Structure 1
């Protein structure tokens, strides 16, 4: 039997908060959890970098801000992250909240609050616009955070900001309503002068290297007011960063072999023709080594000369928001479009050797399946289908479209990713049909496939082999060492024997308790086909119990695949089978379980056992 255990005991601070010492601060931005590294490696904590750089520039003695190294922040499981936070003995822990990391960030914040109630918890980011459920935080930051976060730190250090103590605020057992006093909202009412905002790369706060892009803001603000987007509402007019930063930034990128510079500007070609020409000229002069550049732009304003100059400056790809060719849908979300100029702009960029990645939104109000298919036809007409990016409409908190959803008859998820579920013109079955048509036309899977990984090459365990048994004493250690992306190998005997099954399920329960936001990929090896056939009722019942133990229905990885038609129906817990028996293979495939061959399910030398 596995003895009950707590991964973490109540935390005793080695150093209480002192007004005579710098505040100890940790800032997190958790990654998109996809079952491969594509999105994980692109997680750059730019907002945290700006906050830390601003504080170091204007009040360097005030605080010591730590941003976790990329391997920890992007790969670690929940328990490993909590452990790092507790060992840091931080006074303040902050999270940048996006729809993909909101729930996991909340889980970590609640764990910290339980274990270290004296730690102040803060959050910023787009999800602050949806404050429901964020009562675990003491403070929320709305809008640009550089100045307000600095003032908050100064207030905490001086004692001028009073936050409820653990005795003044209810405990986390009373989760329905922690306290009407929390959280306190800090908001930047007037946009900052960007001359005062230093760059986090030039300051050395954010690392650079050959495997991740440099995320570059040259401006903030967007002149467009699309009703599905909150950016224009938060940044009502366009402001530019000082252009004299470009040369040292590009020099730094070259020295660190950065593979790409990604301009984070909401639209590269804002302003008139002269402003745009000047921006391209600055980039061409700064990018002497021609690091590949990527940006988002309005295709209708691209001329042949601009396309050529952009290529000379280093642009190799652009994102363009077509969204739809249905003008009723575009009018409903206040999205302008000139089809003839869009077509011409695409041609100019393609002729200049710049890849055009075209964004289309599925499920817009006033659109329908026929309109969506016509949009795909238009994309094919322009030969843009190879770089087509289709997104389901998200009704994001704080957007006009979400506020009008009931009036417009739009049903949507209350939980991230806030996807549309149905509109008066786009019923749910047509949304499913739209995705199916997309997959059939282009021979793709709308969502990336989830596959097991039998290697342990990173700092956290991604593969554990349980076929030789479960070491009880190592459970606590294992819980703190796993990644959020874990493959487990088990034998059919562990599922078939009642005494082994009980141990396995108890072990899984404790592992899940400390790491609920992990992808668990279970590979069942058919090592006892005569005694414990995989399709026998005892093995099937045990497997279902194991899946149930490790499954978190509200995990973003499950909700973001709502429109994926899949026989297993669960995505953060996936089952695979390794068998040589043709009958068993056929039965498993009928159940929607992927059968692995010998080479796919081989035993690696570096497996944790």
Structure 2
């Protein structure tokens, strides 16, 4: 019997952990082939490839991000190969299973919940006596075509599941893919918007097995491993042992964890601050809301003061990037309340702030109570809300504009200095900056067209001019620096007029080549000739004392700064150096 398991991933670099668990668990009895695609692949291409593999049984791992595309593939496959047995599994079809079986007559079976043991039992019955009523955790159609949903299956001991990380066919792609890894299953919390709240308790894989799998992945060239544990730090000793193991064996690999920040112990933070190498750990922290009533209604226990302590302590260490998550549209969180939530969290200075919108996932308590709060939401995945009794669709659309500009101008880290200056000095709050800019962005129709790097700068400048933002010359100076630092090689396109003509630039380059110590000892150490500067450096004026601003946050217009940005010949990234301009030229620049 030829068995193929498949999934449509969100991106090419992603991998589906579920398929690997199924293959590993069944490998002693069935030789299972894995076939991964993306949701961007044309359905005909996917169907053609699956048809070429000629499966007798075809399984799909289903999630909110791929269910619609998967359905199209399933329907096509059943038409061209009616005898094919099609099995669905995954969180999207594990709840409301009867609905899916009736909605999709092309589907023969649905595996509910953890699928390893159930899928193996089902394959045995398909290839044998076909007594499907004995297969716990499966939905099927009986001889009369009626849908039957069997009782659920008891949980496996996790260590009875073979490792999903030992397949030769995966190893060549490891350096270029995201590897998903779990040390536990389950979640101790009961957040009513999350599927993890349905499973009670947390189970752990054996520590030595976990270490062996991690070491194998690292040795095989993995560059990014994302732990999918819902609360990685819930068991302090277990988390600490893995942190120490990864510190000792990381070899340049990066590891991302979902943590609950308000339960992070101070001694763990101190340990990481002292021992974690910079850049190898990333923390994803779900804040979701800072509204106490909202958190109470969704059964989310959160101490924002302790969360703040953790985030700030991690930030002060400079070792770990933090990705903080928010959800717009939770119960009793109207537009003004969400504005406060956004500003509370942005004030923590996360490297990335992810703004998501509430999704009414099948099986969650909040979907069950949707009428209580007046929710309306999409009928199809991803079931995103369209409004509720206190947050109308018009307010949701305004927050969508915030999300769009936030991604382009904060999470991308293309204008960090500029955006920070604007938020701190020119706008009432971070939310107001992103909202007003987002409104302007949509007014100009920019959401309908693409953008190059320089477009981001020009559009911000246009917005600031339209608004009449004061001190735009200061902002422009910071934008110049941000723009230069976004290039690996000397930029060919400049979106403003240089402050110096060619003769002035030639004079400065000659002086810097002859007396480099006037710039700085760091610049002098580069040993650049005048010819090198022409090839690998740019020179511009900043109309204030940039070193003082960076050191003290003070804008001193009495001294302008000559900015020199040097690009390495190998494209390894730019460095910048500053020196005071001659006073007469400084006066001229400020005056003009």
**What TM-score, normalized to structure 2?**
0.63
Kindly tell me: are residues 291 and 193 of structure 1, through their superposed partners in 2, closer, same or farther at Cα, counting changes over 3 Å? Answer: same
Partner of 1:167: none
Aligned to 2:22: 51
Residues 525-546 of structure 1 show CA distances to partners (whole Å, capped at 9, x for unaligned) of xxxxxxxxxxxxxxxxxxxxxx
Counterpart of 1:137 (choices 68, 82, 107) is: 107
In structure 2, the partner of 1:280 is 243
Give the Cα separation in 1 of the matches to 2:208 and 2:195. Answer: 29
Unaligned segments of structure 1, at least 5 residues = 1-22, 33-39, 164-176, 448-563, 577-598, 600-609
Does residue 393 (structure 1) correspond to residue 364 (structure 2)? The answer is no
Give the Cα separation in 2 of the matches to 1:203 and 1:107. Answer: 29
Give the whole-Å Cα distance in 1 for the aligned partners of 2:443 and 2:33.
Answer: 41
Report the Cα distance in structure 2 between the residues aligned to 1:575 and 1:437, rounded to whole angstroms: 18
Name 1:124's counterpart in structure 2. Answer: 89
TM-superposed deviation, 1:44? 0.9
SS of the residue 1:41 aligns to: coil
Say whether 1:109 aligns with 2:87.
no
**Cα shift at 1:308:** 4.3
Partner of 1:407, secondary structure, is helix
Question: Does the residue aligned with 2:72 lie in a helix, a strand or coil?
Answer: helix
Cα offset, 1:259, TM superposition = 1.1
Q: Deviations over 1:243-276 (max 9, x none)?
A: 11233323322333211111110011113x4444
Q: 1:211 maps to which residue?
A: 176
> When you count helix as a share of all residues, which structure comes out higher?
2
Shift of 1:388: 0.1
Say if 2:12 and 2:38, in contact at 8 Å, map to a contact too: no
The 2-side partners of 1:575 and 1:277 are apart by: 44
Q: Residues 158, 321 of structure 1: CA spacing in aligned structure 2 closer, same or farther, 3 A cutoff?
A: same
2: distance between equivalents of 1:570 and 1:92? 43
Partners of 1:150 and 1:88 lie apart in 2 by: 20
For 1:65, the equivalent position in structure 2 comes to 32
**In the alignment, structure 1 residue 345 sits paired with structure 2 residue 307:** no
Is the 1:229–1:396 contact (alpha carbons within 8 Å) kept by the matching residues of 2? yes
Structure 2 counterpart of 1:300, from 250, 257, 262: 262
Correspondences of 1:191-230 after superposition (within 5 Å) = 191-204=155-168, 206-207=170-171, 208-230=173-195
Cα 1:98/1:192, change in 2 over 3 Å: same
Separation of aligned partners in 2, 1:49 and 1:308: 36
- How far apart are 1:154 and its partner, in Å? 0.7
In the TM superposition, what is the alpha-carbon distance from 1:405 to its structure 2 partner? Answer: 0.4
Structure 1 residues 246 and 276, CA gap change in structure 2 (3 angstroms): closer
The answer to whether the Cα contact below 8 Å between 1:141 and 1:185 also exists between their aligned partners in 2 is no
Asked if 1 retains the 8 angstrom alpha-carbon contact of 2:14 and 2:178, the reply is no
How far, CA to CA, are the matches of 1:180 and 1:366 in structure 2? 48
SS across alignment from 1:210: helix
Q: Provide the C-alpha distance between the structure 1 equivalents of 2:404 and 2:283, rounded to a whole number of angstroms.
A: 23
- 1:188 CA displacement: 4.2
Once the two structures are TM-superposed, the CA of residue 76 in structure 1 deviates from its matched residue by 3.9
Question: Is 1:270 matched with 2:237?
Answer: no
1:466-504: CA deviations, max 9, x gaps? xxxxxxxxxxxxxxxxxxxxxxxxxxxxxxxxxxxxxxx
Output the CA distance in 1 between the equivalents of 2:407 and 2:55.
50
Tell me how far 1:568 sits from its aligned partner: 9.1
Residue-by-residue CA offset, 1:194-229 (whole Å, 9 max, x unaligned):
010111112546445211122111000101010001
The counterpart of 2:346, out of the listed 367, 375, 380, is 380
Give a deviation string over 1:352-379, Cα, whole Å, max 9, x none: 3111100000011110111111111112
Please say if residues 140 and 183 of structure 1, whose CA atoms lie closer than 8 Å, have aligned partners that are also in contact. Answer: no
1:365 aligns with 2:331: yes
- Tell me by how many angstroms 1:570 deviates: 11
Check if 1:29 corresponds to 2:4: no
Find the counterpart in structure 2 of residue 254 from structure 1: 218
Residue 328 (structure 1) shift? 1.4
Aligned counterpart for 2:118 among listed residues 117, 139, 148? 148
Whole-angstrom distance in 2 between the partners of 1:142 and 1:569 = 44
Whether the 8 Å contact between 2:58 and 2:86 is mirrored in structure 1 is yes
Displacement after TM superposition at 1:277 (Å):
3.4
Distance 1:253 1:402, change over 3 A: same
Paired residue for 2:271? 309
Deviations 1:6-34 (A, max 9, x none): xxxxxxxxxxxxxxxxx2111111022xx
Relative to structure 1, the CA distance from residue 179 to residue 390 in structure 2 (aligned partners, 3 Å threshold; closer, same or farther) is farther
Change (3 A) 1:569 1:105: farther
Task: Please say if residues 218 and 250 of structure 2, whose CA atoms lie closer than 8 Å, have aligned partners that are also in contact.
Answer: no
* Equivalent position SS for 2:64: coil
Structure 1: distance between partners of 2:146 and 2:32: 23
Taking a change above 3 Å as real, the CA distance of residues 326 and 213 of structure 1, as seen in their structure-2 partners, is same
Deviation sequence 1:454-475 (CA, Å, 0-9, x none): xxxxxxxxxxxxxxxxxxxxxx
Partners of 1:198 and 1:76 lie apart in 2 by 31
CA distance in 2, matches of 1:440, 1:153: 49
Give the number of aligned pairs: 407
Aligned-residue offset at 1:88: 1.8
Q: Which entry has the higher C-alpha Rg, 1 or 2?
A: 2
Maintained 8 Å contact 2:14/2:179:
no
Instruction: Classify 1:162/1:123 alpha carbon distance in 2 versus 1 (closer, same or farther; 3 Å).
Output: same
TM-superposed CA distance for 1:46, in Å, is 0.8
CA distance in 1 between counterparts of 2:306 and 2:59 reads: 45
Alpha-carbon spacing, 1:140–1:403, altered in 2? closer, same or farther (3 Å): same
Q: Secondary structure at the match of 2:31?
A: strand
SS in 1 for 2:287: strand
By how many angstroms is 1:435 displaced?
A: 2.4
Describe the superposition over 1:271-322 as per-residue Cα deviations: whole angstroms up to 9, x where unpaired.
Answer: 3x4444344345445x352522110001012244313434645652110011
Q: 2:391 aligns with which of 409, 412, 426?
A: 426
Distance 2:232 2:116 in 1: 23
**Structure 2 equivalent of residue 289 of structure 1:** 251
